[in-house]
Amino acid sequence: MTTVTKVNIIMVAAIAVIAAIMITMNIKMNDEQDAPDTASLASSTHSTSHRLNVANDGAVEFVEFVDFECEVCGAVYPYLEQLRTDYGDDVSFVIRYFPLPGHHNSMNAALAVEAAAQQGAFELMYAKMFDTQTQWGEQKVSKATLFRQYAADLGLDLPQYDVDVAAASTLNRVQLDFDAGQKLGVNATPTFFANDQKLLVESIDDLRAALDAAIK
């Protein structure tokens, strides 16, 4: 083997080692970038989260990630209202937005609810969406005009509603909840948490059991 050949072999081997190191470094960097921020996973709520009520001691928080066009969310809604009545001041009920991209009007609905929230009417518009879901859900045309009519029905300031529903800050507020949900492992609606513990729910009795356990 000539000296030139030996040098070539060494150079090829060195390049291979360097390439392997670079690939390893890139994989590590990508993993670090993709890894969730553990601080953001610490709580299923945020300081801006919408609370339908607040428990006396604030000890028990029940969170629902919701899509207003989701038929299951619509079916569960009256049962959750019953839970609110039954548990009174013992549990804080929190709603977070999770508009699924497969639903044509889920984002429009979330924006309408958030715009209403900016006028202090979150719960009214939240209820309106579920009370009327069968009238506008599962349709392929925008229902933004209908949602504006809901705002009028609720007595909101329509010029202000128009500004807010189109504002980037309103979209960002909805997106904040959606992003948080994804980091928490939410991939469908409704998804529930009790005191930051994701619940496996098959029936309303499972929700009651989880709330009872959290209270104890």
Is the confidence at residue 214, as pLDDT, over 60? yes
Q: Cα–Cα distance between 216 and 205 in angstroms, integer?
A: 16
Is the confidence at residue 149, as pLDDT, over 70? yes
Three-state DSSP at 47 gives: coil
CA atoms 44, 182, 167, 156: torsion sign: negative
Is the confidence at residue 72, as pLDDT, over 70? yes
Is the confidence at residue 94, as pLDDT, over 80? yes
pLDDT band at 19 (very low <50, low <70, confident <90, very high): very low
Those residues whose C-beta lies under 8 Å from the C-beta of residue 193, and which sit 6 or more positions away, are 44, 61, 62, 63, 184, 199
Q: Cα–Cα distance between 200 and 105 in angstroms, integer?
A: 27
pLDDT for 79: 96
Both tokens of 174, joined, read: 């909805």
Average pLDDT of the residues in 100-112: 97
pLDDT tens, position by position, 111-120: 999 999 999 9
pLDDT band at 192 (very low <50, low <70, confident <90, very high): very high
pLDDT for 56: 85
Angle at which helix 204-215 crosses helix 71-87, to 10 degrees, equals 40
Place of tokens 């009920």: 93
Those residues whose C-beta lies under 8 Å from the C-beta of residue 36, and which sit 6 or more positions away, are 183
Lowest-confidence region among 1-15, 66-80, 154-168 = 1-15
Is the confidence at residue 25, as pLDDT, over 80? no
Whether 113 contacts 165, CB under 8 Å: no
pLDDT for 64: 98
pLDDT for 42: 60
Backbone torsions φ then ψ of 105, nearest 5 degrees: -110, 10
Is the confidence at residue 70, as pLDDT, over 60? yes
pLDDT for 1: 54
pLDDT band at 17 (very low <50, low <70, confident <90, very high): very low
Is the confidence at residue 170, as pLDDT, over 90? yes
Both tokens of 5, joined, read: 């050949």
Average pLDDT for the chain: 85
Q: Cα–Cα distance between 27 and 123 in angstroms, integer?
A: 46
Whole-model pTM above 0.85?
no
pLDDT for 216: 86
